[in-house]
Chain A
Amino acid sequence: MPAKRSYENASLDLTFYEFERKTFSMATDVVDAPLADGKPLETLESVVIRFCGDSGDGMQLAGTQFTNTSAVFGNDISTLPDFPAEIRAPAGTLGGVSGYQICFSNREVFTPGDELDTLVAMNPAALKTNVADLKRGGTLIVNEDEFDKANLQKAFYKDNPLEDPNIMAPYRLHKVPMTRLTRDSVAGLGLTMKEADRCKNFFALGLVYWLYERDMSSTEDWVREKFGKKPEICESNLRALRAGYNYGFSTESFTVHYKVNPAKLAPGKYRKITGNEATAMGFVTAAKLSGKKLFYSGYPITPASDILHELSILKNYGVRTFQAEDEIAAITSVIGAAYAGDMAITASSGPGIALKGEGLGLAVMTELPLVCINVQRGGPSTGLPTKTEQADLLMSMFGRNGECPMPIVAPSGPADCFAMAIESMRIAIEFMTPVFFLSDGYIANGAEPWSVPNVSDLKPIPVSHPTQPNTENGYMPYLRNEKRVRPWAVPGTPGLEHRIGGIEKADVTGNLDYSPNNHSHMVNMRANKIAGIADYIPEQPVEGMQEGDLLVLSWGGTYGSVKTACDHAVKQGLSVGHAHIRYLNPFPKNLGDIIKRFKKVLVPELNLGQLKMLIRATYLVDAQGLNKVKGKPFLVSEVSEAIHKMF
């Protein structure tokens, strides 16, 4: 029997039993008669919610749970987690605010939304840094218990903003004593105050579940699985969750709640997936499709580490992971594994990729297949470790010594990481070359529904290792096929012993050769081999108008906002086409023709104009840029405005 207790500082002087009676009897009513509250239920098309609070408040967890529940319910979703680089910045400060935004809808959505319908702010700092994104008339739910003098000061509020009608007037404000109610809901479980307060995020989540008519069972199952071994923590989180739900249900504060029906996605089976999950799964799949083992080597770095985490639990898929001593060892061990015949990949982010440059040059020179994943983040140097940017495109193109061409692919969103992972591995194997896979922080952590593929629909990746000499004079490691690709004989094969290395070599034999004409031949050979890949990648599709006034060219994680803005422009009668480039080197063969069909070209990018520079240099066109480097993705409105300015 739990001891009777009440918290000294709780002004609502309920004992555990009283509180339980008050709240949980209602919970039973909800189950029996879902609309027993009699509150009106409005149906909406799309909703954007953001949970924000201190780094330690569990906002990422609340956001992820809401996302899972909405995905399983059948909404289309798009998410934007946004957290500070510090694991635990000083509590209550502006720098320590962590947020998770989700757009869920009954139609297809491509972005996490420009402005918020509902904002949950767990403290004054979270309110201050996020309230500007809440639309006029939006729902603002705050944990009023945290608006004490100390916290207000930390957020640089002179007076309590909740009491200031000038600030609060545009919003539907709900002041909820979440800390106190959470403590009350878990009273009697023998938790410390700190442990009790850790359940606040579940209270907030429960309240938002009620507000948007969500079924809580998948979160309840998750809590039971996660905390099954700690019964009191498990029970306390479940109680806080229900207490939050019941608060919405029973208090006068909330007069209406909302419903967002499932989206009409194409028929099939779906699951929620983040970019890093899809990337890991894509490479495991690529290895299986090639009948090979996957070798992954990486050095921990934000925001790429999750790929290492995902892969390291999948050992029974024939995955060997190697946490290397540094970025250089990560790429060079991958080169060693590729030489041995493995599907070999490494992942990092900007600063780590810079360190891998020399190793990638060795892979280009020796013509070994591997994939280097760059989950781009804000730079230069350490830059913005947890924020997104697209400023490594030119580094991927040119960031190595000598003429050192590498194919580059870039997924357009979280789910596309799966397809492009397989595609990058295919190119690496088919053309015996290292390949760049350019993801970014937004794609890596963002989530969306993924149409689960049928394994039988996936095309095998053919791999061949010679077992016999390829000439009468023995095995020639650089004797090329019609695609200028050399054979891949692996150590252990009798009779094919040969030497490779980073030093310039003669074609065919691979013997050292520094002679002028040979170097010229080899530099051109390597360049032409990569350029020739254009014949073996899909043509560039165009959405919207196929010719006309404005072509919008985008790449990588900006697909959703650029597509949405282009769709709006076309609906408004503007002559706009949108080409989202997933193959950045070489470009698709038809890209030049597409560009010629439009009068103007706009290139929105999260950098200072890197794709624009390549497009201008390649196609001699006066492309214009829309550039943003704030560590955040484009808002649809930003792209729309730029499109309108082009007319």
Chain B
Amino acid sequence: MSTTALPQLTAKDFASDQEVRWCPRCGDYSILAQMRKVLPNVGIPKEKIVFVSGIGCSSRFPYYMSTYGFHTIHGRAPAVATGLKIANPELQVWVITGDGDALSIGGNHFMHAIRRNVDLKIILFNNQIYGLTKGQYSPTSPQGKKTKSTPFGSVDAPLTPLSVALGAGVTFAAKSVDVDINHLQMVLERAAAHKGTALVEIYQDCNVFNTGVFEFAQKKDEKNKNCIYLEHGKPLKFGEKLDKGIRRNSQNCPEVVDINSVPEDDLLFHDEKSPDPGYAAMLASMRYPHSPEPMGIYRCVEKPTYDEAVNFQMNSRIEAQGTGDLEELFNSGDTWTVK
């Protein structure tokens, strides 16, 4: 047996010839750059990679990649991607979406793609604002947010994307930040390697309409104070000197403790493979500034994928009944002959 090695591609090979037209210092630039860096290493030939997007600033993404790409309509990318993936399960299909696209107009498709476990990598650019339509509040904007459409402050309660996804049973859930380059690359690589729906929420700065809201996780000197960097099998720790930890209190809720005052075994140990989504849901509920916020892989479990199951069912019918014959189909049921 001989195998032909794939030519080693670089980030440049994944850049299309189109000029990138996001606003200066938009967080999308970094996400695009990390994606281009990660893809040469995921082991999938370029022609088998497809980016499907909805509508919004982030959804221009496919035009900037040199892979196959489909810029669809608002909120529908997961449904287009589902059809694509069922029809050709050999493709690696990435969905590029935003907080408005995935959680507002496209909430239904988002939820159903996840509960079916279609093998899609959903990259959710969360900037907590509608940028393309020039600054209205989004389903992830915090209550009280003043925007063009909420001059007196938003009265809507926001959604937590990972909580929604975990509620629908997502098999891979992760969170990262646009400018945390190494962390984001790691998360994207893990998403690419996951079989099933992989949801990656990326906090992304909108430099024009909502800048600075993610500084707690972006600034080098702040992020360790505010974020817990998850590692499978390791205790949940954070703080400038990793001197704080998380344990469950008597109500089974997470609480912050000084690691020098409790034995390490009392801390919560991260288990991304926990079959119970409740643990990851607890992590998802930990949000800055009320709590340190976990970053990284919340959950990564294996389950059969929808596209696989649909094709398995078709193929097993073919195996059991033989390839359908039109003559037989036409003559099924009662026939009669006129002479």
A residues near B (Cβ < 8 Å) are: 68, 71-74, 218, 262, 264-272, 281, 284-285, 288, 293, 295, 297, 314-320, 322, 324-326, 328-329, 332-342, 344, 358-359, 361-362, 366, 452-453, 455, 458, 490-503, 511-512
Give the complex CA separation of A284 and B329 in angstroms: 10
Instruction: Pick the residue among A71, A315, A498 that contacts B68 (CB under 8 A).
Output: A498
- Complex interface: stretch among B83-91, B227-235, B295-303: B83-91
How far apart are A296's CB and chain B's nearest CB, in angstroms? 10
B88 lies within 8 A of A359 (CB): no
How far apart are B10's CB and chain A's nearest CB, in angstroms? 16
Instruction: Pick the residue among A281, A344, A453, A499 that contacts B71 (CB under 8 A).
Output: A499
Q: Which of B80, B317, B333 has the most CB of A within 10 A?
A: B80
Give the complex CA separation of A12 and B260 in angstroms: 94
Which B residue's beta carbon lies closest to that of A493?
A: B47
A491 lies within 8 A of B336 (CB): no
Contacts of A490 in B (CB 8 A): 88
3 smallest CB-CB distances across A and B, nearest first, come from A501-B71, A336-B83, A317-B324
Contacts of A319 in B (CB 8 A): 314
A315-B47 contact, Cβ under 8 Å, with A295-B87, A335-B72, A337-B84: no
Complex A-B: 20 CB contacts under 8 Å? A72-B334, A269-B335, A269-B336, A295-B87, A316-B320, A320-B86, A322-B310, A325-B109, A328-B108, A332-B109, A333-B82, A335-B72, A336-B70, A339-B70, A453-B330, A492-B90, A492-B91, A499-B71, A501-B63, A501-B69
Contacts of A315 in B (CB 8 A): 313-314, 317-318
A512-B73 contact, Cβ under 8 Å, with A271-B331, A491-B88: no
Question: From DSSP, what is the main secondary structure of chain A's interface residues?
Answer: mixed
Give the complex CA separation of A335 and B46 in angstroms: 22
A270 lies within 8 A of B311 (CB): no
A297 lies within 8 A of B83 (CB): yes
B83 lies within 8 A of A295 (CB): yes
In chain B between 308 and 330, which residues have their CB closer than 8 angstroms to a CB of chain A? 310-311, 313-314, 317-318, 320-324, 326-327, 329-330
Instruction: Pick the residue among A320, A338, A493, A498 that contacts B310 (CB under 8 A).
Output: A320
The answer to whether the Cβ of B45 comes within 8 Å of any Cβ in the partner chain is yes
Q: Given known contacts A325-B111, A499-B71, what 15 new A-B pairs fall within 8 Å (CB)?
A: A265-B338, A271-B333, A281-B330, A288-B326, A297-B83, A316-B317, A316-B318, A320-B310, A329-B109, A332-B109, A337-B83, A337-B86, A339-B80, A341-B88, A500-B69
Contacts of A316 in B (CB 8 A): 314, 317-318, 320-324
B47 lies within 8 A of A495 (CB): yes
Give the complex CA separation of A92 and B331 in angstroms: 40
Instruction: Pick the residue among A264, A339, A492 that contacts B48 (CB under 8 A).
Output: A492
A335-B91 contact, Cβ under 8 Å, with A272-B334, A315-B318: no
Tally of contact residues, B, Cβ under 8 A: 59
Contacts of A337 in B (CB 8 A): 83-84, 86-87
The answer to whether the Cβ of B112 comes within 8 Å of any Cβ in the partner chain is yes
Instruction: Pick the residue among B16, B73, B317 that contacts A362 (CB under 8 A).
Output: B73
A281-B329 contact, Cβ under 8 Å, with A316-B317, A316-B323: yes
Give the complex CA separation of A318 and B329 in angstroms: 13
A318 lies within 8 A of B323 (CB): yes
A341 lies within 8 A of B331 (CB): no
Q: Which of A73, A281, A332, A361 has the most CB of B within 10 A?
A: A332
A332-B73 contact, Cβ under 8 Å, with A271-B334, A284-B324: yes
Instruction: Pick the residue among A71, A288, A512 that contacts B336 (CB under 8 A).
Output: A71
Which A residue's beta carbon lies closest to that of B66?
A: A497
B144-159 contact mask (Cβ, 8 Å, vs A): 1 or 0? 0000000000000000
Contacts of A341 in B (CB 8 A): 87-88
A320 lies within 8 A of B314 (CB): yes
B338 lies within 8 A of A497 (CB): no
B334 lies within 8 A of A71 (CB): yes
B24-56 contact mask (Cβ, 8 Å, vs A): 1 or 0? 000000000000000000000111101010000
Which A residue's beta carbon lies closest to that of B80?
A: A336
A295 lies within 8 A of B86 (CB): yes
Contacts of A268 in B (CB 8 A): 337-338
